[in-house]
Amino acid sequence: MDEFALIKKFFGTDADAKTPVGSGDVAQGCALSLGADGVITAIGDDCAVLELPAGKQLVVSIDTMLEGVHFPEGAPGFDVGTRVLCGALSDLAAMGAHPLWFTLALTLPRVSTDWLKAFSSGLRSVARQFNCTLVGGDTTKGPLCITVQVHGSVQPGASLLRSGAVVGDDIFVSECLGDGAAALALMNNQLEVDAAAGEYLLNRFYRPQPQILLGQQLVGIASAAIDVSDGLLADLGHVCTASGVGATVDLGAVPTHPSWNAKVTQQQQWQWALKGGDDYQLLFTVPPNKVAQLNKKGLPVQKIGCLVEGSGVSVAHLSEPMDFTADGYNHFG
Ligand code: ADP
Ligand code: MG
Q: What is the pLDDT of residues 5-18, one digit of tens each?
A: 888 888 876 544 44
The pLDDT of residue 28 is: 41
Q: Is the CB of 102 under 6 A from ligand 1?
A: no
Report DSSP letters for 118-136, one per residue.
HHHHHHHHHHHHTT-EEEE
The pLDDT of residue 323 is: 56
Other Cβ atoms within 10 Å of 124 Cβ, number: 22
Q: How far apart are CA 200 and CA 132, in angstroms?
A: 25
The pLDDT of residue 14 is: 52
Q: Which neighbouring-strand residues pair with 282?
A: 227
The pLDDT of residue 8 is: 84
pLDDT band, residue 331 (cuts 50/70/90): low
3-state DSSP call for residue 193?
A: coil
* Strand 133-141 to 98-108 pairing: parallel
Q: What is the pLDDT of residues 98-122, one digit of tens each?
A: 999 999 999 999 999 999 999 999 9
Q: What is the pLDDT of residues 84-93, one digit of tens each?
A: 999 999 999 9
- For 114: left if phi > 0, alpha if psi spans -120 to 50, otherwise beta; the answer is alpha
Q: How far apart are CA 235 and CA 92, in angstroms?
A: 16
Pocket test for ligand 1, best of 138, 141, 144, 145 (most atoms within 8 A of CB): 138
pLDDT band, residue 166 (cuts 50/70/90): very high
Q: What is the mean pLDDT of the chain?
A: 90
Residue 39 near residue 135, CB atoms below 8 Å: yes
The pLDDT of residue 329 is: 55
The pLDDT of residue 26 is: 33
What is the average per-residue pLDDT within 47-75?
A: 96
The pLDDT of residue 41 is: 87
Residue 121 near residue 26, CB atoms below 8 Å: no
The pLDDT of residue 319 is: 59
Pocket test for ligand 1, best of 9, 139, 141 (most atoms within 8 A of CB): 139
The pTM score is 0.91
CA of residue 72 relative to chain centroid, distance:
17
The pLDDT of residue 61 is: 98
Q: Is the CB of 136 under 6 A from ligand 1?
A: yes
Pocket test for ligand 1, best of 1, 2, 3, 7 (most atoms within 8 A of CB): 7
Residue nearest to atom 9 of ligand 1 (CA): 138
The pLDDT of residue 43 is: 87
pLDDT at 328 over 80: no
The pLDDT of residue 24 is: 33
pLDDT at 153 over 50: yes
Q: What is the pLDDT of residues 277-295, one digit of tens each?
A: 899 999 999 999 999 999 9
Q: What is the pLDDT of residues 238-252, one digit of tens each?
A: 999 999 999 999 999
44 CA: nearest ligand 1 atom: 14
Q: How far apart are CA 124 and CA 48, in angstroms?
A: 19
pLDDT band, residue 23 (cuts 50/70/90): very low
The pLDDT of residue 332 is: 57
The pLDDT of residue 37 is: 79
Q: Which of 129-143, 262-276, 308-322 has the lowest mean pLDDT?
A: 308-322
What is the average per-residue pLDDT within 115-131?
A: 94
